[in-house]
Structure 1
Amino acid sequence: MAEKEESSAAGRGREEELKKELQSVVKKIVDEDNYGIEITLKAISILSDLSDTVLTKKFRCPISGEIMCDPVVLSSGLTYDRPSIQKWLNEGNLTCPQSKEVLSHTILTPNCLVRKLISSWCKGHGVAVPRSHQDSNGEMSTEFDRLYFNSLVAKMFSSLTDRKEAAKELRRLTTAAPSYRAVFFEFTDPISRLIGPLLEGSVDSDPELQEDLITTFMNLLVDCDNMKLVADHPDAIPLLIKSVEFGTTETRKNAAVALSMLSSDNDRRLLIGNAGAPMPLLQLLREGHPIAMKEAASAILNQCVEHNNKEKFIELGAVKVLLEKIREGKLVDELINLVAQLSTHPKAVNELRELDTVHCLLGIIRETESEGTKENCVAILYNVCLNDVGLLKVIWTEGIEHQTLAKLVDTGTARAKRKATALATKIDLFDRETIPNSFKKEWRWASSPTAKANKWSWKKVLELFIEFARH
């Protein structure tokens, strides 16, 4: 105890010393018109030392005086290191060591923010990060944590104020600590207890409560063992689908993420599709909220692995929506991937057979740096154009000027090369069977270095070829 007091006194002395030194330097900066860069740098250095001193003081447990390894918050609102405050409580003390107030309960809440700050500070100063309770034992859930977590879940049947406070804390804990996500399903009928407040009235009657509970729901699904328990609950998936329709943007996005995670299993994909998820997900994508579009696209992509769901999305107009967003330049890589998934369905192929779509895809192949996007574009072209002479003419004409497919055959991914080669072979066959000899002769000449050097001749030949392709 004497060593702790001596260390604390030394820390206070150092802090006061730095404050006086800073005060002196700042006075010179304020009073002197021509103060130099040296004095400014000195002020910055003192501030840095002072911040370190203050931070290390905040990071030390008020009981042990040591940097905290597992900071927790007592009901008084003050933070202590878990081993120290646990010992204090085990000795029968029911007051806060610092404030002396009587404790309303002895639940210890992990202070994740302080833990992160300590870890960041230690790494920045080359100091070993203190090993915490969860570091050494592989988990964070003590009996006090379980009791606290259970008390939060129990509050879902209390007043609205208690519900909102508990929902916010559940969201925080399931975001920060994996152990809470695992322990949740040890309770009796946990899903009903969690979503009960949202089932009593309109789902979006309290947007803040809805957002916290849906986010908690999403967090719980990070633990794969929870997937089946959620899917088997009759109200869980309908609630998530409803939350994709209504609520804050964050609520809708996180509900889409939850549905995407649940779609990892084919039976669940079919269940979600049959429960009415396609329309709300497509609407979320159509609205174009940047924060939500990507998650909606991911959920739709996972859903479309199942053939029946793919057909549902196509019938709802997904192809048109996706092409509109792509032409607007929104999430091009992600949406092209989704179009490639849909393009394996005959109904989607019919919608994609437009000159503008083909030109758009060829343009993306030329402009994008993403090899995956190039691969998806040529896969779409293969599905759409392979048996369409009119569209093969378009690609053939485009190849005169840009040689887009030829470049993919040389430099694309293995799949892109296969698709581009197949299309090139088909175009070559089309060339031999349908193009008049006069055009073939002109094309060969147009491909020569001499023609390319003569801009007027090249332009004339290109115009002739485009005219032929149109007919």
Structure 2
Amino acid sequence: MEIQRPVIKLMVLHSQHNNNNSPLSNTKSKWRISFSRSSSSPTKTETPVTKPEIPSEFLCPISGSLMADPIIVSSGHSYERACVIASKTLGFTPTPPPDFSTIIPNLALKSAILNWCHRWSFPPPQPLDIAAAEKLIFSLMAKTRKVSVSEKELIQAIKDKPLVRLDHAATELDRRPNYFNSSSDESVASSSRVLQLTTRPSCFSSPSSTEIEPNSSSPEEDAVLIKLNSNSISETEEALVSIRGVTKVDEASRINLCTTRIISVLKSLIVSRYTTVQVNATAVLVNLSLEKTNKVKIVRSGIVPSLVDVLKSGVLEAQEHCAGLIFSLSLEDENKTAIGVLGGLEPLLHLIKVGSELIRHDSCLALYHLSLIQSNRRKLVKLGGVQILLNMVRLGEMTNRVLLILCNMASCSLSRPALLDSGGVECMVWVLRREVSESTKESCVAVLYGLSYDGGLRFKGLAMAANVVEELVKVERCGRERAKLKAKRVLEVLRAQMEDDASSPENEIDWEELLNSGESVSRSRCVNSSEF
């Protein structure tokens, strides 16, 4: 709108005198200044301000929305971070196909977007939620993906004509983090049947009737195998995404698709050099393992060595799925020994220290269930697992969860000497002296109870040196019922040994020599730790 400026008019009035002809000295000038509005420019009406058009380079090519957290990939394209994560998880390839192998925050573009929003009084964009991004990707896949007739028939046949119906899945890995709450007491309560340490270590058994597959394959299985064995990577990815979706929600499909031939193909796909193939193949196996009848079948297919390779060198998402898969498979007693023999313990021990939060959770759960078997406890000792677990307790890393594994180790005569030699008693007393939860104290007392099980003289010497009696008395007075009971039993063991020593002065023991011996001596037997 044009602003009207006032026009200054200068009026000069001259009054001349007759007798003075000089223009300078005899002329008196009077100046008048007046203000008026210019009538030369007509008044214009105000027009509404229109919102500017968003520059195309500020829009995410996948979502089409203004980017809040832009990242740049190896191919040079910029995307919203949540859209890239969802695309990698679900195996979606935008157009043009980008390279998602390297992701770098695009700070310059983010700053330009914020400056543009501030300049035009435009509300700044909010980061997209992962769940919303996955929903968006699913909708894009539904629009762009051409589903063949055979695939439609496969999904419909699985839903309409299931071979087996189960009331519920054996476990739900989508809720895996719930196994670890704020206290170990809740973890113990959620698996109380296993913590009784009475699990039957049976590694082999005759197959049941539900594990025997018919010789003739079904058309649905043949259709799946054709897609999985396709020479086109995109077609293989499409088949894996479809199978992953249907096995996630349908129980019967998990039974029908868990055949020897399909598992054999998946075994080769989980070590693929293509990220989306590797991630989706491991995710399909996780879904199949939810059914109890599939757990032994999957392990017997010989897939554990491939899972170990993924744990060691797979991409992060595949490692997360793989750790959850081994945890799911370890719930079955018949699989525990096989997983330990085939090398599953070593990468799990490594990942509980350096893995992501989800990997550490599932690896800890898997080690807990695997350590219920005596042969696996022996292997954990050889791998230095006792020292690793005690160091994690000292550093305060996943203390409640690691203590559950140490309870299994302390209850076994094969792993107990290594726990004593590594400073297990001192570590438990150190935790008891800190401000910790009641459930953590109970777990520490449970470890001490396991170490005192055979009444060994070495445990007595270490307990006396660490002044464990003082801490156990506190737990016996103020702890919870289960902690009180175990603390009382450990104190009874120590008092009984003191009375025996007092009544037998001829059997004086050099405690200093015993503490430095590195052996676990017992009145009933002597277990030499060199056997490890």
TM over 0.5: yes
Instruction: Give the whole-Å Cα distance in 2 for the aligned partners of 1:249 and 1:177.
Output: 27
Deviation, 1:347, is 5.0
The 5 A counterparts of 1:66-465 are 77=143, 105=149, 141-142=159-160, 151-158=223-230, 159-185=232-258, 189-198=261-270, 203-233=271-301, 235-353=302-420, 357-365=424-432, 367-371=435-439, 373-384=440-451, 386-387=455-456, 388=458, 389-395=460-466, 397=467, 399=469, 403-429=470-496
Q: Distance in 2 between matches of 1:191 and 1:243?
A: 16
CA contact under 8 A between 1:231 and 1:262: conserved in structure 2? yes
CA contact (8 A) 1:410 1:417 kept: yes
1:274 & 1:140 partners in 2: Cα distance? 36
Identity %: 22
CA distance in 2, matches of 1:341, 1:228: 23
1:391: how far off?
Answer: 1.9
Q: TM-score with structure 1 length normalisation?
A: 0.56
State the alpha-carbon separation in 2 of the partners of residues 429 and 153 from structure 1.
Answer: 67
How far apart, in 1, do the equivalents of 2:267 and 2:235 lie?
15
Q: Deviations over 1:417-470 (max 9, x none)?
A: 3321122234445666889xxxxxxxxxxxxxxxxxxxxxxxxxxxxxxxxxx9
Partner letter of residue 156 of structure 1?
Answer: L
Q: Deviations over 1:384-434 (max 9, x none)?
A: 355333322235x365xxx43123224545543332112223444566688
Aligned residue for 2:143, secondary structure, equals: coil
User: CA contact under 8 A between 1:382 and 1:420: conserved in structure 2?
Assistant: yes
- Tell me the distance in 1 between the aligned counterparts of 2:425 and 2:501: 21
Say if 1:375 and 1:294 are closer, same or farther in 2 by CA, change over 3 A. same
Aligned partners of 1:244 and 1:327: how far apart in 2? 26
Normalised by the length of structure 2, the TM-score is: 0.50
- Conserved? CA contact 1:74–1:108, under 8 Å: no
Residue 257 of structure 2 aligns with an amino acid whose one-letter code is F
Pair member with larger Rg: 2
Provide, for residues 77-131 of structure 1, a one-character-per-residue CA deviation record: whole Å limited to 9, x for no partner: 399xxxxxxxxxxxxxxxxxxxxxx9964966999xxxxxxxxxxxxxxxxxxxx
Query: 1:350 and 1:356 mapped to 2: Cα distance?
Result: 10
Q: What is the match of residue 82 of structure 1? A: none
The one-letter amino acid paired with 1:344 is S
> In the TM superposition, what is the alpha-carbon distance from 1:335 to its structure 2 partner?
0.3
Amino acid at match of 1:227: K
Deviates more, 1:279-288 or 1:155-164: 279-288
Alignment coverage as a number of residue pairs? 310
| Counterparts in 2 of 1:304 and 1:168: CA distance versus 1, 3 Å | same
1-side partners of 2:364 and 2:344: how far apart? 13
Contact kept in structure 1, 2:158 and 2:256, CA below 8 Å: no
1:284, CA displacement in angstroms? 1.9
* Structure with larger RCO (C-alpha < 8 A, sep 6+): 2
Equivalent position SS for 1:189: helix
- 1:30 maps to none
8 Å contact kept, 1:217–1:258: yes
Distance 2:149 2:499 in 1: 86
User: What amino acid is aligned across from residue 267 of structure 1 in structure 2?
Assistant: E
Q: 1:168 to 1:434 in 2, by over 3 A?
A: same
Q: Distance in 2 between matches of 1:143 and 1:338?
A: 43
- Structure ranking higher in helix proportion: 1
Deviations 1:11-41 (A, max 9, x none): xxxxxxxxxxxxxxxx9xxxxxxxxxxxxxx
Whether the aligned pair in 2 keeps the contact of 1:340 and 1:376 (CA below 8 Å) is yes
Could you tell me whether the CA contact under 8 Å between 1:244 and 1:280 is conserved in 2?
A: yes
Distance 1:143 1:428, change over 3 A: closer
The 1:251/1:106 distance shift into structure 2, 3 A limit, reads closer
Unaligned regions of 5+ residues in structure 2, if any? 1-50, 52-137, 163-217, 503-514, 517-532
Q: Cα RMSD (Å) of the superposition?
A: 4.2
> Residues of 1 paired with 2:151 and 2:299: CA distance?
32
Matching residue of 1:461 = none
Whichever residue aligns with residue 273 of structure 1, its letter is G
Contact 2:381–2:418, Cα closer than 8 Å, also in 1: no
Change (3 A) 1:188 1:251: closer
Gaps of 5+ in 1: 1-26, 28-71, 80-101, 112-132, 134-138, 436-469
Give the conservation status (yes or no) of the 8 Å contact 2:389–2:402.
yes
Sort the Cα spacing of 1:298 and 1:362 in 2 relative to 1 into closer, same or farther, 3 A.
Answer: same
Give the Å deviation of 1:275. Answer: 1.5
Tell me, what secondary structure is at the counterpart of 1:353? Answer: helix
Residue aligned with 2:226, SS: helix
The change in CA–CA distance for 1:179 and 1:383 in structure 2 (over 3 A counts) is: closer
Q: 1:211, 1:251 within 8 Å by CA — same for their partners in 2?
A: yes
Letter in 1 for 2:319: R
Pair 433,284 (structure 1): closer, same or farther in 2 beyond 3 Å: same
Conserved? CA contact 1:156–1:196, under 8 Å: no
In the alignment, residue 143 of structure 2 is paired with which amino acid? G
Q: CA deviation at 1:355?
A: 8.9
Instruction: State the Cα distance separating 1:178 from its structure 2 match.
Output: 2.8
